[in-house]
Amino acid sequence: MKDPILYSFKRCPYAMRARMALKLANIKCEIREIRLNNKPDHMLKVSPKGTVPILILDNKVIDESMDIINWALNKVDVFKGNIEQDKVNLTKELVTIFDDKFKYHLDRYKYSTRYKDANLEFHRSECLEILYHLESVISNKKWCFGDKINKLDISILPFIRQFRIASPSWFDSQKQISNVQKILKNFLDSKLFKEVMHVYEVWEEESALVYFPPNNL
């Protein structure tokens, strides 16, 4: 099999979660860093919906981040044995809440001026409600379900990171999400996070091949 090609954008939370799964599963890819305002023709040709991440394999194109995660985990189940069965269903439920509701309100909180009539406080409090729910079901350990990182951590922490970035002092001052705050901090301090946030030059047709994970770390 040729090395897969990964179209990616460093700051995109969906691309971030896919890069984490690929990194944890030790799957080497040719990485193509893009800008959302200047998408390469080839990227749009393989996936006309025009979102990153996209993983191009010999026999198929995977253009949904959770499908990339599941494909990587199917190859190398890095989380095997890390969680009990009931947490598998909880992971599914929570990822759906984050991808649908949390992301919807996060965009309207972070970019309230871009959305007509978006009320920053309202959307922020909707996100916070979801974090209260998360707080009530996670551990008080290093990661959401204990001492080991899991699919839930890599899937949702990039979005919680964005939520914090909108107003770090406000986020840090929230009293009822101390485990969420702690887990986010562990994530931001982790070697994994630093590795997947490696800075790549923007890819162009004539660029030399560049690989992910970066081998200079």
Per rule CB under 6 A, is residue 14 in the interface with ligand GSH? yes
Residue 32: name the closest of 43, 48, 24 by CA. Answer: 43
Q: How many residues are listed for the chain in this entry?
A: 217
* Nearer of residues 155 and 181 to ligand GSH, judged by Cβ: 155
Give the residue, chosen from 6, 12, 22, 152, that forms a contact with ligand GSH under the rule CB under 6 A: 12
DSSP string of 52-87? S-EEE-SS-EE-SHHHHHHHHHHHS-TTTTSS-HHH
CB of 14 to ligand GSH, least distance (A): 4
- Give the Å distances, CA to CA, from 204 to 39, 40, 196: 10, 8, 20
* Nearer of residues 9 and 187 to ligand GSH, judged by Cβ: 9
Contact 99, 93 (CB under 8 A): no
Stretch that binds ligand GSH, among 8-16, 20-28, 71-79, 178-186 (CB under 6 A): 8-16
Per rule CB under 6 A, is residue 197 in the interface with ligand GSH? no
CB of 18 to ligand GSH, least distance (A): 7
Binders in 23-62 for ligand GSH, by CB under 6 A? 36, 50-53
